[in-house]
A and B are shown apart, each in its own frame.
Chain A
Amino acid sequence: MPLLEVRDLTVVFERKGEKPFTAVDHVSFDVEPGQTVGLVGESGCGKSVTSLAIMGLLPRRGARVSGSVQYEGVNLLSLSDREMRDRRGRDLGMVFQDPLSSLNPVIPIGVQVTEVLERHQGMPRKKAMLEAAELLDKVGIPDPTRRLTEYPHQLSGGMRQRALIAIALACRPRLLIADEPTTALDVTIQAQILALLKELVRDLGTALVMITHDLGVVAGLCDEVNVLYGGRVVEKAHRHDLFAAPRHPYTHGLLASIPRLDAPRGEKLNPIRGSVADNIPWAEGCAFAPRCPNKLDVCVQVTPEQEDIGAGRLLRCHNPVQPPVSEEVSV
């Protein structure tokens, strides 16, 4: 049984006097215990909103959430605010993009870590302090006992993100959701944090939902990848399959548009034309159709359904990219 089972998760934002906006549209995916699942897409694809909906962090007013999020058989969406608060931090940990704004600036790091331990595990202060120091050490923060008394602004960006990961992992949650955890960081620091996440997932058996726009991050980290576009999952595959043979024109286009360090120079990049502003509503066809090089007439008339194309792959496309014949042609 999967640890997390997201089914038809839909989030509609409503504002007085404005058209309702569907940010997440019938998104479904599973996370097995200990597995790392990637949600990939560009800004506005609904990946962050998905994570907030799972964590129950969307405002009750203005955001209508439907579908189901089964965590160990319990539908998180049906829980009260109070029950959800008990689960956050204990069963589900979350790491945000901006570590500075996610940490309380006026409270020492130590208190922010022990707070979680005291609240969820009823640990006495002294013991929690020791545990906190151990946690900071585990996430690679040098001189942890001293760091416990310091404030977020005294730490560097990378150290703050480590502290945030320590807080998220304090109660050994079985699921960690990381929303662009390295986007605000430099590449060398990003490499450190990714290595840390990988190690923690392996050692603690925590399942990880990795939300990112960076296909490179996904390639090295995730077992399974869901590519989101316009609020829907357009392609889902194991990482090796996805990168070797992207089938959805959007995934294919993304991979072709990023310059690669290991590819020969001098070739033009192949950008995806237009921008997300050109999308058409899913109700009228495929949202990606106006930007799609493979567009057929049917694409703007019939909404593509998600189909199982074998090997655990799902695809939502009328005219997918044909898989390359041999390995060398890939990407």
Chain B
Amino acid sequence: MVTPTRKKDRIDKLAEAGSDAGVSLAASAWRTLRRSPVFLTGAVIIGLFVLVSLLSPWLAPHDPSDPMLIDQVIKARNQIPAVQDGHPLGGDLQGRDFFSRLLIGSQQTLIVGVLATLIGLAGGLTLGTLAGALGGWVDSVVMRLVDVMLSLPSLLLAFSISAMFARPNQYTVIVAVAVVQIPVFARLLRGSMLAQRSSDHVLAATALGVKPGAIVFRHMLPNSLGPVIVQSTLVLATAIIDAAALSFLGLGNPDDRIPEWGQMLGDVQNVFDTHPQLAFWPAGCIIVVALGFTLMGETLREALDPKSRR
């Protein structure tokens, strides 16, 4: 019944004893990440995604809202423009160039994902810091609120929030997705803040006479952020998927002149059996981008984990 796990940890440490120390925590994490093929794969995917979305107005060969191929659409026979010269992916149901829509769509997807995550992060950080730093009844109130939010399935919650708005648009999607992420961040941060609060170095700072505010913002918060940073890369992936899901369900931007991947996916649900490629491309893009963020997040988690380092 002897469990040699602790021993193994120690052996790993001994094995690592030869490696030289890095400069700061961030620097040593970066050193690990630089050599990780998984992280690099994720980084390349995300790098391409960001680059494409930024340059999409110039990369897109056509105006994504121009029904230039409308004459090839025959609604009655469910016929859409095929792949042809200048239109590598053909056209959609409104005769618009599909490739251009996909490129421009990356921009909306990025904006929605990043904004939703940032808003969620800001909300979560505020609540988590309040709960973790003040403790007591503030902590109890915040955490019960968080528990209530977490007890609902996230997509259902986002759906309900979107539905509350009279006229759903791009921003309601962002808000809905962001609100869903707030409790995730809040709970995560609060947990690591509490661990920090009872840590020796925070006690040391208190004993030194450092002002309470400085202890929270200079010691507790920075040391609690690691898991939150990791979580935000993972949340970016889910935010994109959630936003796509909302758009798919018709709670996204009703104005389909500005394409978005989830909305593109939703538009074609009736013709999916005859034209699967219309779903394949946006869905594929969503999956690849989400995967990219997830790969980065997971490797970041490992690199920032102090146990894996020393």
Contact = CB atoms under 8 A, between A and B. Distances in A.
Contact, chains A and B (beta carbon distance below 8 A): yes
Interface of A: 13-15, 17-21, 23, 44, 48-49, 52, 57-59, 62-63, 94, 96, 98, 101-104, 107, 112, 115-116, 167
B3 interface: yes
Given A57-B4, A107-B1, A112-B1, A21 B11 contact: no
A19 B255 CA distance: 60
- Interface extent on B, as a size class? 10 to 19
A13 B1 contact: no
B7 A52 contact: yes
A70 to B, nearest CB: 23
Contact of A18 (B1, B5, B18): B18
Interface of B: 1-8, 10-11, 14-19, 35
A266 to B, nearest CB: 31
B12 to A, nearest CB: 8
A22 to B, nearest CB: 9
Contacts of A57: 4, 7
A167 B1 contact: yes
Contacts of B35: 17
Contacts of A17: 35
Contact of A63 (B4, B11, B18, B19): B11
B6 A98 contact: yes
Contacts of B7: 48, 52, 57, 96
Given A103-B1, A104-B3, A115-B1, A52 B11 contact: yes
B19 A18 contact: yes
Nearest to B10: A48
A58 B7 CA distance: 9
9 contacts: A13-B15, A17-B35, A21-B18, A23-B15, A44-B14, A52-B11, A103-B3, A107-B1, A112-B1
A293 to B, nearest CB: 25
B17 A21 contact: yes
A32 to B, nearest CB: 26
Contacts of B10: 48
A15 B2 contact: no
B15 A62 contact: yes
Given A104-B1, A107-B1, A112-B1, A49 B6 contact: no
B11 A19 contact: no
A107 B2 CA distance: 12
Contacts of B3: 101-104
Contacts of B8: 59
A19 B7 CA distance: 21
Nearest to B8: A59
Given A52-B7, A98-B6, A101-B6, A21 B14 contact: yes
A39 to B, nearest CB: 15
Q: Which 8 A-B pairs have the closest CB atoms?
A: A13-B15, A112-B1, A21-B18, A101-B6, A104-B1, A19-B18, A57-B4, A23-B14
